[in-house]
Amino acid sequence: DGGITQSPKYLFRKEGQNVTLSCEQNLNHDAMYWYRQDPGQGLRLIYYSQIVNDFQKGDIAEGYSVSREKKESFPLTVTSAQKNPTAFYLCASGRGERSPLHFGNGTRLTVT
């Protein structure tokens, strides 16, 4: 089955530690996205990539970093510089501009 896999589902980290969230897709989509979702709020775009080896900052990129070395993979690192990292993180992919997005089932990150 084609889809997007995010791992792990739950992640716990101590404050001050960097943590990397995995996102893999086998849909052959060019575009990949990372969103953050806080309780009762909509999704906010962190980073996106339209093509391998290229990515752009979204609306809330501070404290995050990404890489896009392979078409299938778009890992997100939450650095210690992110002031409020506890959230639900969603990865998505799409065929290109303006196309519907396919989402993974998210990673819930808790930092204490």
Partner 1 sequence: SQQGEEDPQALSIQEGENATMNCSYKTSINNLQWYRQNSGRGLVHLILIRSNEREKHSGRLRVTLDTSKKSSSLLITASRAADTASYFCATDANNDYKLSFGAGTTVTVRA
Chain residues that interact with partner 1, rule: CB under 8 A:
4, 6, 35, 40-45, 48, 58-59, 90, 92, 97-98, 100-106, 108
Q: Which is nearer to partner 1, 17 or 99 (CB)?
A: 99
Residue placing its CB nearer to partner 1 in the complex, 7 or 17: 7
Provide the minimum distance between the beta carbon of 69 and partner 1 in the complex, in angstroms, as a whole number.
22
HEC assignment per residue over the chain: CCCEEEECCEEEECCCCCEEEEEEECCCCCEEEEEEECCCCCEEEEEEEEECCEEEECCCCCCEEECCCECCECCEEECCCCCCCCEEEEEEEECCCCCCCEECCCEEEEEC
Give the shortest CB-86-to-partner 1 separation in angstroms.
15
Q: In whole angstroms, how close is the CB of 80 to partner 1 at the nearest point?
A: 26
Q: Which is nearer to partner 1, 16 or 100 (CB)?
A: 100
